[in-house]
Amino acid sequence: MANKLPLHILKIGGAVVDDAPLLQEALQAFAAIPHAKILVHGGGQAANDMAKKLGITPVMLNGRRVTDQATLEVVTMVYAGWLNKSIVAQLQALDCDSLGLSGADLNVIRASLRPPKPVDYGFAGDIQAVNTERMQWLLENKVSPVCCAITHNKEGQLLNTNADTITASLATAMSKHYDVSIYYCFTKPGVMVDPDKPETIIPEINTESYRELKAAGIIKDGMLPKLENAFDALQKGVDQVIIGSVAAIHPESGIAKTVIRR
Amino acid sequence: MANKLPLHILKIGGAVVDDAPLLQEALQAFAAIPHAKILVHGGGQAANDMAKKLGITPVMLNGRRVTDQATLEVVTMVYAGWLNKSIVAQLQALDCDSLGLSGADLNVIRASLRPPKPVDYGFAGDIQAVNTERMQWLLENKVSPVCCAITHNKEGQLLNTNADTITASLATAMSKHYDVSIYYCFTKPGVMVDPDKPETIIPEINTESYRELKAAGIIKDGMLPKLENAFDALQKGVDQVIIGSVAAIHPESGIAKTVIRR
């Protein structure tokens, strides 16, 4: 553990991607990270907007999007095309030598088509393997990968995979070689006792305090799966998971955020 | 010259990209090339179709497309997104370790915005520099770059650049380090005396025979700029330029094609 180099994985959510000045701020903070780093970006509203413009009606099942052929084309165009290349171009302008990647590029993330039973989600990909050798090779050569939420099955089929899942899979796979921190970047400052009061932010959560916060009903609803995923990543070898705002990405910012450790 | 390794640059035109079985055949031939190799792909009809669906009216000036903001988004989505990632996924299925690149990725191709006078072509990029170090690094590590017709200006702006121009610029820049062959892959078999008779294909053209063919009116119209570009590339250090069909890509295919040398 002591001999591993740090690796920062920054996940920027849709609300950040959709807000040009906030995205620019996040990219500046990312470019300034002095260690090996990977950016994972969500899609935001752009894919929905594009689908709407093209007359594609989103099909949802159990709150999840069904990826039919037309939707797969749209998300690949928007995530891997416009958003990914716009982010890479902005990072290059900040002298951050970035490289946009789908899972197909260098075969970095191989997934399998989610079984069509019990629910057929169409071209949805469940991650099977992260190519840690290629990722390590990029990082050692001062390249900062920018990953979008598109994977492939190594048989020619592109697949749609959730960006949070990609972040967690990359992080746990890379934790064999690096001391990995995940930073989930939102528009909110972190996990708060009262979601309407930023001053009630919880600066640190561990396994024990998580149990207490859950029992007291302070962590609930949408926060539960996020925290469960965070503890799952920590259990699988990730060093720390941070949930915070764009402004707090810089470790020296002094701005409150929630740090989650085992 | 003798110590340089071979590098094959295959340019596949729009008509090949638009034809799924023909594209698959081209990718199989590309994957089988036993040397360092780069694929450059055009956009085909997909970008026009997408623009049409989105209600974007193409603006043409002197036979060239004007790239406004909406068009830039469409070409980036289609070229760098859907087409590029589909090609990369198909190559990975053929065990060809490919990596999709726009000019922004790894800063491989830097361009400048074409001056708006005398004609304002919008976000059109004129190539300024090819990052031969990064390209060489990829090739030496058995990576086959797949380049689309999108560049950037290193100041955060994506730009639209003709795929033939990208091919020629890559080829001449890489000729300092490699023995470069360009293969322009079309649906036609090569340069023909009678364009309707494939059996009249001209197997070899050099500077002298080109002068004669031009004087005799055999090479004319649309073929002239293609040949001029080929001789320009040869003058700048490229070893040979081949114009041929998908079926003739394999050197051992025995199928006729036109080889152009100085």
- Region A49-60: mean pLDDT is 90
Choose, out of A92, A138, A161, the residue to mutate when testing the contact with B (most B CBs < 10 Å).
A92
Whole-angstrom Cα distance, residue B113 to residue A156?
35
Question: Residues of A near B (CB-CB distance < 8 A)?
Answer: 50, 53-54, 73, 76-82, 84-86, 88-90, 92-93, 97-100, 102, 104-107, 137, 141, 143, 150, 152, 154-158
Report the top-level CATH class of A5-187: alpha beta
Residue of A nearest to B83 (CA): A77
Residue of B nearest to A102 (CA): B85
Whole-angstrom Cα distance, residue B35 to residue A111?
29
Q: Is residue A212 classed as helix, strand or coil in its secondary structure?
A: helix
Chain A residue numbers with beta carbons less than 8 Å from the beta carbon of B82 are: 73, 76-77, 80-81
Chain A residue numbers with beta carbons less than 8 Å from the beta carbon of B78 are: 77, 81
Examine the pLDDT at A2 and tell me if it is beyond 80: no
pLDDT at A252: 82
- Pick out chain B residues at pLDDT < 50: 1
Instruction: Specify the range with the lowest mean pLDDT, choosing from A129-143, A248-262, B127-141.
Output: A248-262
Chain B residue numbers with beta carbons less than 8 Å from the beta carbon of A79 are: 81
Q: Please write the tens of the pLDDT for every residue from A5-35.
A: 999 999 998 899 999 999 999 999 999 999 9
pLDDT at A137: 98
Examine the pLDDT at A63 and tell me if it is beyond 80: no
- The set of residues, in sequence order, having a beta carbon less than 8 Å from that of B190 and lying 6+ positions away, is B201, B202, B203, B243, B244, B245, B248, B256, B257, B258
Nearest CB partner across the interface for A82, out of B81, B93, B105? B81
Nearest CB partner across the interface for A92, out of B85, B98, B154? B154
ipTM over 0.90: yes
CB contact under 8 A, A92 and B84: no
Q: Please write the tens of the pLDDT for every residue from A185-208.
A: 988 899 999 988 989 999 999 999
Q: Is residue B97 classed as helix, strand or coil in its secondary structure?
A: coil
Q: Please write the tens of the pLDDT for every residue from A109-123.
A: 999 999 999 889 999
Other Cβ atoms closer than 10 A to A197 = 9
Q: Please write the tens of the pLDDT for every residue from A207-216.
A: 999 999 999 9
Question: pTM of the entire structure?
Answer: 0.96
Domain ranges of chain A: 5-187
Q: Which of B118, B77, B71, B87 is nearest to B22 (CA)?
A: B87
- The set of residues, in sequence order, having a beta carbon less than 8 Å from that of B216 and lying 6+ positions away, is none
Chain B residue numbers with beta carbons less than 8 Å from the beta carbon of A159 are: none
- Region A29-55: mean pLDDT is 93
CB contact under 8 A, A86 and B141: no
A222 or B259, greater pLDDT: B259
Check whether the bond before A116 is cis (ω within 30° of 0): no
CB contact under 8 A, A77 and B79: no
Nearest CB partner across the interface for B152, out of A73, A89, A102? A89
CB contact under 8 A, B88 and A104: yes
In percent, the amount of chain A with pLDDT more than 70 equals 99
Nearest CB partner across the interface for A104, out of B89, B155, B157? B89
pLDDT at A62: 79
Residue of B nearest to A96 (CA): B106
Count of all residues that appear for chain A in the document:
262
DSSP state of B252: G
To the nearest whole Å, the CA of A260 is away from the closest chain B CA by: 33
Whole-angstrom Cα distance, residue A193 to residue A213?
9
- Region A215-221: mean pLDDT is 90
